């Protein structure tokens, strides 16, 4: 019973954090594609991200995405990228830093290959340099 209660409390906390990105176009990508059979969605809240100085990590990976899914998700990313204050590319990854929201830095990562599409939204107090150090060095 304690485990179930603990799990419910964690899920409520994570659900509240996920609402932080609701104002972004990419939320539609998570809503529409996370339930697909080739999709993997990961959501982590502040408890697991404390050592990275982050409060939210929300990712979507789609293996073998359809052309329509690629086009739709890329359009959503570009819509949010229009408000980016920083745009960088690292070995095929596109990284966008959005204006701060509620005192938190907001980042979008996007990468597509012939086999996989990856979309990640990150929010927290970590600087762009810290994000690049923790996440991009492992990808290259």
Query: pLDDT tens across 52-86, in order?
Result: 899 999 999 999 999 999 999 999 999 999 999 99
**How many domains are there within the chain?**
1
Is it the case that residue 47 has pLDDT exceeding 80?
Answer: yes
Is it the case that residue 5 has pLDDT exceeding 50?
Answer: no
Q: Cα(62)–Cα(40) distance, rounded to whole angstroms?
A: 6
Looking at residue 7, its pLDDT comes to 37
Looking at residue 21, its pLDDT comes to 67
Q: Cα(96)–Cα(78) distance, rounded to whole angstroms?
A: 10
* Percentage with pLDDT > 90 across the chain: 62
Q: Higher-confidence residue: 76 or 21?
A: 76
Q: Which pTM does this prediction carry?
A: 0.81
Cross-strand partners of 95: 88, 109
Which pLDDT band holds residue 8 (cuts at 50, 70, 90)? very low
User: 18: domain range?
Assistant: 2-139
In Å, how far are 19, 30, 69 from 82, measured between CA atoms? 21, 19, 20
Q: Cα(82)–Cα(85) distance, rounded to whole angstroms?
A: 9
Which pLDDT band holds residue 138 (cuts at 50, 70, 90)? low
Looking at residue 10, its pLDDT comes to 45
Lowest mean pLDDT among 8-22, 37-51, 86-100, 116-130: 8-22
């Amino acid at each position: 019973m304690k485990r179930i209660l603990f799990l419910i409390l964690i899920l409520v906390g994570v659900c509240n954090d996920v609402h932080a990105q609701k104002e972004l176009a990419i939320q539609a990508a998570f809503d529409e594609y996370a339930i697909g059979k080739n999709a993997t969605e990961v959501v982590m809240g502040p408890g697991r991200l404390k050592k990275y100085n982050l409060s939210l990590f929300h990712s979507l990976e789609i293996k073998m995405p359809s052309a329509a899914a690629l086009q739709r998700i890329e359009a959503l990313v570009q819509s949010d990228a229009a408000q980016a204050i920083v745009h960088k590319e690292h070995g095929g990854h596109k990284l966008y830093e959005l204006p701060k929201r509620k005192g938190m830095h907001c980042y979008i990562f996007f990468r597509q290959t012939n086999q996989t599409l990856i979309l990640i939204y990150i929010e927290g107090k970590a600087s762009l340099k810290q994000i690049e150090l923790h996440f991009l060095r492992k990808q290259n």
